[in-house]
Amino acid sequence: MSQKMTRRRLLLGGAATAAVAMVKSSFGKMVQTGIPEAAMDPTRQVGPLPGVLGTRSPFEHPQRKASLTSSQTPLQDLYGIITPSDLHFERHHAGVPAIDPNTYELTIHGMVDRPTVFSLADLKRFPAVSRICFIECSGNFRKPDKETITPQDICGLTSQSEWTGVMLSTIFREVGVDPKATWFLAEGSDAAVMTRSIPVSKGWDDAMIVYAQNGEAIRPQQGYPARLLLPGWEGNTSIKWLRRIELSDGPFMTREETSKYTEPIKDGKIRQFSFTMDARSIITYPAYPVQLQKGWVEIRGIAWSGRGKITGVEISTNAGKSWQAARLQEPVMDKAHTCFRYLWQWDGDTTEIMSRAIDETGYIQPSLKELITARGIGTGYHLNPVTAWLIKRGGEVVYRPEKWK
Amino acid sequence: MPYWACVAGIAMISCERRVNTAPTHFGYGRPATKQEIAAKAIAIRPDGKGLPAGSGTVQHGAVIYAGKCASCHGVTGTEGPFNVLVAPDTADAVPFDRAPQRIKAIGNYWPYATTVFDYVRRAMPFNAPGSLSDNEVYSLTAYLLYANKLIDSSTVMNAKTLPGVIMPARKYYVTDNRNGGDGPYE
């Protein structure tokens, strides 16, 4: 309860007036005006009647953290595996375009038998498919430079939705993709006219063109009215506001697959087309800024891999000296955030807790040191290190800063 | 039709009808005309495919740059406030994996010259994307390649010359070949 409320409670001896009133509308219906500031005795007053749109409880304020180029999902405030659509992370290069669904068109051409223009209604007529998967930005990493950062700050550029649309393979068959086509260009209709080259094999495998997210039309920030969805691949490749697909026999070498979204690795090399998101996990509770109490603690978090299912998550409560298996919450899905939990008794001593994800290829989430050793200190993108939370004697939980070397 | 007949592949056509197999072609959408494809297909390939007619010079590019780009990228392309466009060193300086502070720009990091044309035409200037003519984009491309010491001041940029510009960073590019498994975590 806020300080203000406490004072009001004192002043009014508990019979606080809530800032809610039921008034009769011109149609004689009771409608709610204002929202309750704090619960009075809810059994002594009729609450608001059904409305046309639901709302969050006025006591809940999950928020993304926005910068000029992105906004991060508050992972520490979420339960389960679905990111509420208004909390899905955002990353775009020139703002969110306003697109009229009635004039929207997707053109597919290049190495195809039948170059075709599809309206949104056309796309919706095709056999529909729904799937749950994460989308993660390959820049989803923050250098471990200070203690006071949250899971949202560290890796809030990953979110998960149920996406509905048409398989790209269905569209490929519809237009008759030339068997000699090896790449396709996907282009968005934002002011960056975002483009990426994608191997055609991904299009035949599990790529989709989606128009719905969590049961409703996709949000503008996520690509309304239709976007590409490449499960498990770096978010930038799932082109939003999709307007054009061009089949080709080679990559186009766009700016976002050369100047950006490439990473220096050992021996001066520059790695390109690193599409797949490596397995990762994060403990979302307890994490900064939680104040922990001695006794039983359920350690909670999410794990995911762009290469398939999560097969295990291991927890260390002694700074990485030993590891125990966490429980995975069903459903455990391909290329999807998976919840894990681990019951632990904190004895009040200073310690570090951490999690590491294992996926079905046998890949084990590495430490930052292992990543830097393998790639060099000048690397960037696709950094997925184990994250440690330092629990101090008084129960203060902070991020454990790490040297970038 | 009994199940075994489907399995044995006998009378496949009636089997398919029975399981209501999706057609390969639904007939949705409308044919895209040659003209509308030509108007929409703006992507340039590294071999130059897609480059339009026209040309541009370093000198003309310098003038446009000063008027339309310098406010965000700096008078010489190094001052910001936004992306540095002119590399402070060559592609063969200290390897990037050992130099976290090293600035990546066209001259030391970009593997293909065609990308400059493609990107500037589609996305720049940031406050008026899509506003440049093809000749202006050729000139800006010439100026940026010249400022990065990749061409000399008299080289004209057009659909023939641009794909031939040698980009020294290209030799460092490798395609990701990791497949998960038990590391190493390169």
Please tell me if residue B20 touches chain A, with a CB cutoff of 8 Å.
Answer: no
Whether B95 sits inside 8 A of A279 (CB atoms) is: no
**Neighbour-count burial for A327-338, b at 16+ CB within 10 Å, e otherwise:** ebeeebbbbbbb
Which of A119, A252, A374 is nearest residue B185 as measured by Cβ atoms?
A374
| Pairing between β-strand B173-175 and β-strand A269-272 as defined by DSSP bridges | parallel
What pTM, to 2 d.p., does this model score?
0.91
Instruction: For Cα atoms A138, A150, A371, give the angle at the middle one, nearest 5 degrees.
Output: 40
Selected from 3.90.420.10, 3.60.10.10, 3.40.50.150, 2.70.70.10, the CATH number assigned to the domain covering A70-268 reads 3.90.420.10
Q: What is the mean pLDDT of each run of 10 residues along chain A (405 residues)?
A: 39 39 46 56 92 96 96 97 98 97 98 98 98 98 90 97 98 98 98 98 98 98 98 98 98 98 97 98 98 97 98 98 98 98 98 98 96 94 97 96 78
Mutate to test the interface with A, among B24, B82, B97, B120 (most CBs of A within 10 A): B97
Which residues 164-203 in chain A show a CB within 8 A of chain B? 170, 173-174, 176, 185, 187, 191-193, 195
Could you state, in order of their start, the residue ranges of all structural domains in chain A?
Answer: 1-61, 70-268, 280-399
Please indicate whether the domains covering A70-268 and A280-399 agree at the CATH topology level: no
- Taking contacts as CB-CB distances below 8 angstroms, the residues of chain A near B111 are 253, 258, 270, 272
Task: Please give the Cα distance from A104 to A189 (Å, whole number).
Answer: 10
**pLDDT in the model for residue A187:** 98
Which of A253, A273, A274 is nearest residue B112 as measured by Cβ atoms?
A253
pLDDT level of residue B140 (50, 70, 90 thresholds) = very high
Contact, B175 vs A183, CB < 8 A? no
Mapped onto helix, strand or coil, the DSSP state of residue B61 is: helix
ipTM for this prediction: 0.89
Whether A109 sits inside 8 A of B183 (CB atoms) is: no
Which of A118, A266, A361 is nearest residue B186 as measured by Cβ atoms?
A266
Which residues 23-82 in chain A show a CB within 8 A of chain B? none
**pLDDT in the model for residue B2:** 40
CATH number for the domain whose boundaries are A280-399: 2.60.40.650
Task: Please give the Cα distance from A58 to B128 (Å, whole number).
Answer: 41
Please tell me if residue B96 touches chain A, with a CB cutoff of 8 Å.
Answer: yes
- Taking contacts as CB-CB distances below 8 angstroms, the residues of chain A near B30 are 116-117
Contacts of A139 (CB under 8 A, 6+ apart): A91, A157, A380, A381
* Dihedral of the alpha carbons of B77, B80, B84, B85, in degrees to the nearest 10: -30
**pLDDT in the model for residue A27:** 45
Is residue B41 packed enough to be buried (19+ CB in 10 Å), middle (13-18) or exposed (0-12)?
Answer: middle
- Taking contacts as CB-CB distances below 8 angstroms, the residues of chain B near A269 are 97, 172-174
Could you state, in order of their start, the residue ranges of all structural domains in chain B?
Answer: 53-84+93-159
- Length in residues, chain A: 405
Chain A nearest C-alpha distance from B2 (Å):
27
**pLDDT in the model for residue A38:** 59
- CATH architecture for segment(s) B53-84+93-159: Orthogonal Bundle (1.10)
Alpha-carbon torsion (B164, B166, B169, B171), positive or negative: positive
Cα A392 to Cα A347, A349, A398, distances in angstroms: 11, 7, 8
Query: Considering only alpha carbons, which residue of chain A is nearest residue B116?
Result: A255
Task: Please give the Cα distance from A160 to A135 (Å, whole number).
Answer: 6
Which DSSP category does B160 fall into? T
